[in-house]
Amino acid sequence: MDFLRPEAFFDVAAFRHRGLFAGCNQVWQALAKIPAYLAECLEPNVGAIGCWGRPLPQTVILWKNKIWWDGYEILGGEVNRGKFRVRIGGEEASQAAVLFAGAVLWDAQIFLGEGSVVEPGALIKGPTIIGACTEVRQGAYMRGKCLVGDHCVVGHTTEMKTSVMLDGAKAGHFAYIGDSILGRNCNLGAGTKLANLKITEGTVQLKIGEEIIDSGMRKFGAIIGDEVQIGCNAVTNPGTLLGRRSMVFPVVSVRAGYYGPNSFVSA
């Protein structure tokens, strides 16, 4: 079933963390590999901050492998377009990462990429990798085992755990992302929920045509292919696979199963 391989859903070759998908014949197998992949690849860069489990008392800048507590000026700009600017010692530093006062780092097992911004009130638990020019907005809750690419948005009061966002994926407002993979340049409309746990006992099973495939996982949210668009307040049921460039209409409960590329899912 080549249409269930990661390459059928994502431009894997263009993703910096493509190693996560190596050897996966079924795309959801990558979810079980997240902890081991992070253990191998995570190179934390926030350890010198030394403020864990409580709000940062002041804004902190990461630039040139150094923590800057002062001597900077924040100029602002669009984060996920790589235009957020900071001036340090008279030099403009577009690659500086910013953690605003009030953000919470739960532990040191976190990597924050160049040009990324963590807003006040966001909480990040490790192990987590956040790529370059990614915006973690106010009130976001990253519960660990998160792998986020470049130019992404983890939005206001968005919760994320044991999940992957490929480059350009955006969940801007009030989303839940549990045990899921979001493809390149996909977008979750406000209030989107990727449900990951059945209300009945047992592992998540997927209906592929007339065949039932047992994922073997108790918790399994959704696979969202590249450039998928999901409308506001939609819910995907556990074990949903949306092919590339699919579209989900607002306020839809998406039944579990496989939807091929360019699908339209409506009520």
Query: Rounded to the nearest 5°, which phi and psi values hold at 265?
Result: -115, 115
- The sheet carrying 257-259 orders its strands as 110-112, 128-130, 146-148, 163-165, 181-182, 222-224, 240-242, 257-259
What is the distance between the alpha carbons of residues 66 and 56, in angstroms, rounded to a whole number?
A: 17
Greatest CA span in the chain, whole angstroms?
Answer: 64
Helix, strand, coil content of the chain in percent (nearest 5):
10, 35, 55
Query: Rounded to the nearest 5°, which phi and psi values hold at 31?
Result: -60, -40
Fill in the amino acid letter for 83.
Answer: K
**240: part of which helix (H) or strand (E)?**
strand 240-242
Cβ-based burial of 90 (10 A; exposed 0-12, middle 13-18, buried ≥19): exposed
Contact in structure between 136 and 170 (CB atoms under 8 Å): no
Catalogue the active-site residues.
173
Contact in structure between 34 and 147 (CB atoms under 8 Å): yes
What is the distance between the alpha carbons of residues 24 and 118, in angstroms, rounded to a whole number?
A: 32
